[in-house]
Amino acid sequence: MPTHPAPSFRPGSIVRVACEHFVTYDAVEFRPGPHLNMIVGPNGTGKSTVVCAIALGLGWKPSVLGRAKDVASYVKLGHSQGWVEIELQGTEFNVTIRRILFRESNTSDWMLQGVPASARQVHQAVSQFNIEVGNLCAFLPQDRVADFAAMTPSKLLQDTQHAAGHAQLSEWHAQLIDYGHQRAALDARLEQEQKEHDHLEERNAVLERDIRRYEERLDLEKRVAALQVRVVFAQYYEVKAQYDAARAKREEGKRALERLLQEQAPLERAVELANEKLEKAQVVMQTHKREADEAHTAILRLTASREDLDTTLASLTEQEKQLEAHDAERHAAIEDMRSKIAELERIIASDTPPGPLEPLDGQLRSRKAEHRVACDELHDMDTQCLELRTKQQRLSSQMDEARRSLDAVDTARHRRLQIMARADRDTFEAVQWLEHHQDLFERTVHEPVLLILQITRPEAARAIETCLSWPVQRTFVCETRADYDLFTRELIDKRKWRLNVVELESTRSTYTPPIPSSDLAALGFDAYAMDCIDAPKEVLKYLCSASNLHAIPISFRGDRVRPQDMEQYRAIRRYIVADTVFTTTYSSYGRKLPQTMSRVLKPLRNFAYQQDSSERERAEENLSSYQHQLDHLRSELERRQHDRTQHAQHCDALAQDLARIKDAHHELYTKHREWERREAKLAAQRANLAQEEAKPSITVQRRRIHAERHKLACDMAKISERLCRSLLSMTRANASSDVHGLAMLHVYADVDACRATLREHKTRVEEAETALRSVLDEFTAVKSQTKELQARAQQQWRNATDEVQAMVQALAEDESVAQLEAQLARLQAQLDVPWGVGPSVLETFRERKEKILELQRSLESGRAERERCVSAMQRVEEQWLPALEALIQAVNERFSAAFDRMKCAGEVRLARDATHYEKWGIDILVKFRDTERLQLLTGQRQSGGERSLATILYLLSLTELSRTPFSLVDEINQGMDPRAERAVHSQMVAMTCTPEAGQYFLITPKLLPGLAYHELMKVLIINNGEWLPERLPLRELIQKKRAAVAAGP
């Protein structure tokens, strides 16, 4: 037997797989070999679980397996979590990845080299080895075997490029597809832009003659514009001359006013000097006058003092005369006081002092507190009784309302209101609002037709309801426009309610039936619909306008009216017979033939007369509940009133006792006050007696009077001397005042003359100022007009184009405004003549011209970009196509040889497309019988075994060319006959058990006897069941088996 070097793993090959609580496994760990690994086990033991472990453990999604889409589904039943660990061969060190799966959260955690990591980090670690788990050419699970045969040729090409051949095949192909899309988009764009360019050039060629005429008009417009600018400038120059003249007048007025103001200063100085002289004279005059006034005042004061001294001397003389009489009166008063004091002392000594007030004060406070508490309790009882009476009144009102509700249950309006509340809440709320606010409107605002309409003939109710649509039934009717505006503003605009409302101010006043009512019976009708109802006049007008009730006749019997006879009465387009409504229309063309349609009347709902028993029961229950509450309330009120009466009697007893104590207290207090008054009076009499006894005697008083008289005589002499001096001072001051008064007359004359001269000069100044103001007003007006014209001229100049400005500068400037305006009027008249060509034509021509230039630039740019794109495609295709053809050739050689060994035929071809690189693909053609031709492998044409055979042989053909570190096929031999299965096995061993081959996994549930094996392949047998030993010595078992075979039978 030949010897082989020790097998080695490619980087990225699987070195170890371990699982715990994963699908069918509680725990498992195995180490595959570097080449072919045959995993064998009965169905259900967990072969496909190994496939799942490899795919999920390397970071792929469950969707690549074709099984459950959630990671939680891969956790073994009965466990909350599980994990898968994959160890990959590395270049320097092995890469170990662990994925932990959680059932409840349906999430995963990752560990890379034993350290927590993210899914992105795991993907980066795996992608460096070019592992293609999602590629069916490299990784084919059991549930996706059928997907391989069903792959489109383009998808097969993409997966084959990923799995084998040059490393950049897929990248080159993607670039070619992208360049192809760019080229197709550029071709479509260039074709569209070329069509648009040619179309625009054709359109502009038609407009060239009109454009020449329009250019002539533009030249005329420029001349008009130039004249308009010149007219404004000429007007400005004329007004500017007026402005210069007004400014000169203004300066002259200012100079004249300044001269007058300079001449006024000396005059004002002369007036000031005269006034100063006058003021000095007035000061001297006032001084002499003040001295005279002061002397006169002193004389009056001294005279009054002398009169006061005379009065005092007379009083002293009178006092001296009355000393004897006053002394006798004083002795009598003293004796009277002594007798009164003795009487008061006797009364006080004979009477007993009153008792103390403190005991009665305590009793009074105690009784007041008891009475106050009792009154508060009585007030609380009154409050409780009042609350009970209020509740009683409220319950009585509720009972009245309940009785009214019970009475209203039987009314048609109530039933219709309930219908409206259920069908249209906004309209129901509007009815409630209108009941309380009808007074806001000028005229009556009528409630909806459903509520206000009365059917006078009950047999017509169904017909009337059919004629009145629901929008008509829920419509409010206003008689005036003002009421309509107010109603819609309050309810629709403010409250946002969805309501139907009309106003009849502008409608017809009368509606005449198409056939007189007297002639209806002859036609078999009983009445018009309008004759069967009753409502306010305005509502009836609305129903005629909206529903034509005045023109719809009704027959309550079905045998009196024939529709074919009614077709001749074109005035009646709609009528009702029994329970059917007929509508007749007439053709608008030809013979205008009639067409009659009929339908059954709607069931009677809104205008039905029926009683709502459930609502009556609710009303009766409410009434009974209110009556029970009222009875209980009445008994409670009677009990409270009885308690209140007893407590009121107690309060009255406390009040009487309190009044008795108050009377006793008042009597004792009065006695205390009388005793204190007597003692106070006695003290006052004693004080008066002591004061009278302390007064001086008559001799002492006479001596005092003589002393005062002597002092008054001395004062009288002094006053007479001062009076003489004051009279002399007053005489002298009056004489000096007269002298200075004569001198002031001359000063007054000088002041008046200076003031008159100044007034005359000020008048001249005012006249000069008035003249200057007039000149300034004229100057301001001219200046404003000049600025306005200057601004207009500057604006016209700025608005003018460069051509118009050049024309203005080239023309003469010495023409007057009238001449320029005449020229402008002449040119404007020429311009007003219709030219037939508007500015839109030129604008359209220019826009098309610009668009044509833009399209030319875009076409040139697009063609250059297309050439670059085609050149890039050629460069990439020169790299991609030879490498791809070499790969297809190599795969085809191996595939064809494999089929030849199977006595069949197979071929792999490159399917090309002239325009779209994404449509390039790989066609697999197979032939399993000599009588057949090569046929394309599809998911329907071949049998399951034939598809499996073709699939495994194609995958084996890629093995030697594969760039992936490992490949896997799961139960690919399903449906093969033993001959094919044996041949496939042999070829697989031959292709995968070479030192150059990579790692390969073959999963199968069965083994045929006599298969070929190789020492580089590894057979992994799944031993799974209810019971397993802790350690299974496979080496010992093999040795025993070999010994038994050698010993023979």
| 3-state DSSP assignment of residue 124 | helix
User: What type of residue sits at position 911?
Assistant: A
Q: What is the pLDDT of residue 87?
A: 94
More confident call, 969 vs 815: 969
pLDDT tens digit sequence for 154-204: 888 888 777 777 778 888 888 888 988 888 888 888 888 888 888 877 777
Per-residue pLDDT band for 146 (boundaries 50, 70, 90) equals low
Alpha-carbon distance of 1048 to 777, in angstroms, equals 148
502-519 tens-digit pLDDT: 988 666 667 888 888 888
| Strands, E assignment, 697-739 | none
Are 929 and 943 within 8 A, CB to CB?
no
Q: Residues 1009-1022: pLDDT tens digits?
A: 778 888 888 888 88
> What CA–CA distance (Å, rounded) separates 574 from 669?
108
Comparing CA positions, the residue from 533, 564, 562 lying closest to residue 550 is 533
With CA atoms as reference, report the closest residue to 894 among 928, 932, 931, 924.
924
Cα 111 from chain centroid (whole Å): 48
Identify the band that residue 926 occupies on the pLDDT scale cut at 50, 70 and 90.
confident
Residue 1 is predicted with a pLDDT of 33
CA-based torsion, 119, 120, 124, 129: positive or negative: positive
Specify the pLDDT at position 85. 95
Q: What is the pLDDT of residue 474?
A: 92
Q: Which of 453-462, 917-926, 1030-1039 has the lowest mean pLDDT?
A: 1030-1039
Q: Are strands 553-555 and 527-528 parallel, antiparallel or unpaired?
A: antiparallel
Q: What CATH number was assigned to the domain covering residues 14-150+966-1047?
A: 3.40.50.300
SS3 label, residue 966: strand
Tokens representing 297 are 């005042």
Q: Which stretches does DSSP call E strand in 177-220? A: none
Q: For residue range 749-776, what is the model confidence (pLDDT) as tens digits? A: 777 777 777 778 778 777 777 877 777 7
Average pLDDT over residues 596-608: 83
Residue 99 has pLDDT above 90, yes or no: yes
Residue 605: HSE in the Cβ half-sphere, 13 Å Cα cutoff: 12
Token pair belonging to 896: 């064809």
- Report pLDDT digits (tens) over 371-416: 888 888 888 888 888 888 888 888 888 777 777 766 655 566 778 8
| Band (430; pLDDT cuts 50, 70, 90) | very high
CB 519 within 8 A of CB 555: no
- What is the rounded distance in angstroms from the CA atom of residue 308 to the CA atom of residue 315? 11
Span 602-611, mean pLDDT?
72
* 969 CB-near residues (< 8 Å, 6+ apart): 140, 952, 955, 1001, 1002, 1003
Looking at residue 100, its pLDDT comes to: 93
DSSP conformation letters of 834-876: --S--HHHHHHHHHHHHHHHHHHHHHHHHHHHHHHHHHHHHHH
Cα separation values, 296 from 286, 307, 731, 735, Å: 15, 17, 10, 14
Q: What SS3 class is residue 6? A: coil
Q: Which residues contact 1007 (CB under 8 A, 6 or more apart)?
A: 40
- Is residue 714 over pLDDT 70? yes
**Closest-CA residue to 34 (of 769, 799, 995):** 995
More confident position, 640 or 834:
640
Q: Which of 291, 285, 393 is nearest to 745 (CA)?
A: 285
Would residue 46 be called left, alpha or beta, if left means φ above 0 and alpha means ψ between -120 and 50 degrees? left
State the CB neighbour count (10 A cutoff) for residue 782. Answer: 19
DSSP run (H or E) holding 708? helix 698-799
In the block, which residue shows the tokens 């295709």?
A: 877
The pTM assigned to this predicted structure is: 0.41
User: Is pLDDT at 956 greater than 50 in this prediction?
Assistant: yes
For residue 576, give Cα distances in angstroms to 372, 516, 527, 570.
Answer: 85, 17, 10, 15
Question: 427 falls in which pLDDT band (50, 70, 90)?
Answer: very high
- Whole-Å CA distances, 521 to 46, 554, 565: 95, 10, 14
- Identify the pLDDT of residue 2: 38
User: CA-CA distance, 940 to 882, in Å (whole number)?
Assistant: 33
| Residue 363 pLDDT exceeds 80 | no
Residues 6 or more apart in contact with residue 472 via CB below 8 angstroms: 449, 500, 543, 546, 547
Residue 4 has pLDDT above 50, yes or no: no
Q: What is the pLDDT of residue 589?
A: 60
- Please give the span between the terminal C-alpha atoms of the chain, in angstroms, as a whole number: 27
Whether residue 645 contacts residue 381, with contact meaning beta carbons closer than 8 Å, is answered with: no
Three-state secondary-structure class, residue 501: strand
Flag whether pLDDT at 832 surpasses 50: yes
Q: Does residue 213 have a pLDDT over 90?
A: no
Q: Specify the pLDDT at position 210.
A: 65
Task: Give the span between the Cα atoms of 51 and 17, in whole angstroms.
Answer: 11
Residue 15, CA atoms < 13 Å, CB-side half-sphere: 16
Query: Torsion-angle region of residue 903: left (phi > 0), alpha (psi -120 to 50) or beta?
Result: left
> DSSP for 748-811?
HHHHHHHHHHHHHHHHHHHHHHHHHHHHHHHHHHHHHHHHHHHHHHHHHHHHS-HHHHHHHHHS
> In terms of pLDDT, which residue wins out, 861 or 941?
861
CA pair distance 226, 829, nearest whole angstrom: 15
Query: What pLDDT band is residue 3 in, cutting at 50, 70 and 90?
Result: very low
Per-residue pLDDT of 258-300, as tens digits, reads: 777 777 778 778 778 877 777 777 777 778 778 777 878 878 8
Report the distance separating Cα 577 and Cα 562, nearest Å.
Answer: 9
Rounded Cα distance between 151 and 158, Å, is 11
| HSE toward the beta carbon, residue 442, CA cutoff 13 A | 11
pLDDT of 445 > 90? The answer is yes
What Cα–Cα distance (Å) separates residue 706 from each residue in 703, 826, 875? 5, 133, 160
Tokens of 102: 């959680």
- Worst-scoring range by mean pLDDT, 94-98, 245-249, 423-427, 638-642? 245-249
Q: Band of the pLDDT at 610, cuts 50, 70, 90?
A: very low
Q: Name the residue with tokens 């250059």.
A: 864
Q: Is the pLDDT of residue 482 over 50?
A: yes
| Residue 478: per-residue pLDDT | 94
* Sign of the dihedral defined by the CA atoms of residues 644, 645, 650, 656, in that order: positive
Q: Measure the CA–CA gap between 244 and 757, rounded to whole angstroms.
A: 38
pLDDT of res. 211: 67
**Angle between the 978-992 and 839-901 helix axes, to the nearest 10 degrees?**
100
pLDDT at 975 over 70: no
Average pLDDT over residues 789-806: 73
Amino acid identity, position 947: R
Q: What is the pLDDT of residue 208?
A: 66
Q: pLDDT value at position 837?
A: 54
Location of structure tokens 């799942």: 52
Most confident of 338-347, 530-539, 781-790: 530-539
Inform me whether the pLDDT recorded for 69 exceeds 90. Answer: no
Instruction: List, for residues 214-273, the tens digit of each pLDDT value.
Output: 666 677 676 777 667 666 777 777 777 777 887 787 788 778 777 777 777 787 787 788
Q: Please report, as a single letter, which amino acid is at residue 83.
A: W
| Range with top average pLDDT, 54-63, 304-313, 543-552, 1028-1037 | 543-552
Residue 322: count of CB within 10 angstroms of its CB: 10
pLDDT band at residue 883 under the 50/70/90 scheme: confident
- Judge residue 230's burial from the number of C-beta atoms within 10 Å of its C-beta, 0-12 exposed, 13-18 middle, 19 or more buried: buried
Compute, in degrees rounded to 10, the torsion defined by CA atoms 928, 932, 935, 940: -70
Using the predicted structure, report yes or no on whether residue 613 has a pLDDT greater than 60: no
Between 278-292, 823-837, 955-969, the lowest mean confidence (pLDDT) is in 823-837
Alpha-carbon dihedral 730, 732, 734, 736, rounded to 10 degrees: -150
* Distance, CA of 907 to CA of 905 (rounded, Å): 7
The predicted structure's pLDDT at residue 265: 78
Q: In a 3-state reduction of DSSP, which class is residue 585?
A: strand
Query: Is pLDDT above 80 for 1032?
Result: no
Question: Residue 568, SS3?
Answer: coil
pLDDT band at 611; cut points 50, 70, 90: very low
Count Cβ atoms within 10 A of the Cβ of residue 929 and give its class: 0-12 exposed, 13-18 middle, 19 or more buried: exposed
Domain coordinates of the chain in residue numbers?
14-150+966-1047, 454-606
Three-state DSSP at 920 gives coil
The CA distance from 578 to 524, in Å, is: 11
Q: Are 431 and 501 in contact (CB under 8 A)?
A: no
Q: How many CA atoms lie within 13 A of 724 on its CB side?
A: 5
pLDDT tops 90 at residue 355: no
Between residues 811 and 94, the one the model is more confident about: 94
